[in-house]
Amino acid sequence: MTYTIEQVKALIREYPDFPSEGILFRDIFPIFQHPEAVECLGNHFVERIKALGKSIDVVVGLDARGFLFGPLIAIKLGVAFVPVRKRGKLPGEVVNATYMKEYGEDVFEMQADSIRAGQNVVIVDDLLATGGSCKAAETLVKKLKGNVVLDAFVIGLVGLEGHKQLTAPVYSLIEC
């Protein structure tokens, strides 16, 4: 079966009151039960990135769900993939950035030699909520003198205004 992007969106499940009361959790994992849907999603993001009209050198994926989409998009673009990990998970020299979560601070790291000065970067993750984790990723890219040209998400929670925290243009496949 060949999927349209609307059919891919329809695969996302909603779970009220998970992980706590008042939260509507959107589950992207059903997409991965359908390889053609994953292919469609990857192609959709690649088309959006190419529409920027800019040369892309690196796709950065955020720990952990950005690792599901980031490598796929990077391969389709023929560019490098770079993971952003939680503190202490990467070997070698790293740069780090602190960000706020709903229950306190956390730290993201990136290997210090993963992005070269002047490289154009797309940051990919599954969800844009408050923007803290993506802002930390933007900070890491800037520390390595890269240029973030797009922050791309499967789902953007518009009411939390995370896009206002970010310096690069934002694209969310689903805005809710």
CA distances from 76 to 20, 36, 71, 101 (A): 37, 15, 9, 32
Whose CA is closest to 141, among 53, 59, 54?
A: 59
- Tell me: the pLDDT tens digits for 22-39? 999 999 999 999 999 999
| Residue 121 predicted with pLDDT over 90 | yes
Exposed, middle or buried: residue 145 (CB in 10 Å: 0-12, 13-18, 19+)?
exposed
pLDDT value, residue 112: 98
pLDDT value, residue 116: 98
The answer to whether 157 touches 129, Cβ cutoff 8 Å, is yes
What tokens were used for 18?
Answer: 């998970």
Sign of the C-alpha dihedral computed for residues 101, 106, 112 and 113 taken in this order: negative
> Would you name the residues annotated as active-site residues?
65, 102
- pTM comes to 0.96
Sign of the C-alpha dihedral computed for residues 131, 132, 136 and 139 taken in this order: positive
Q: What is the mean pLDDT of residues 104-109?
A: 94
pLDDT value, residue 158: 93
What tokens were used for 84?
Answer: 């952003």
- Tell me: the pLDDT tens digits for 88-99? 999 999 999 999
pLDDT value, residue 1: 87
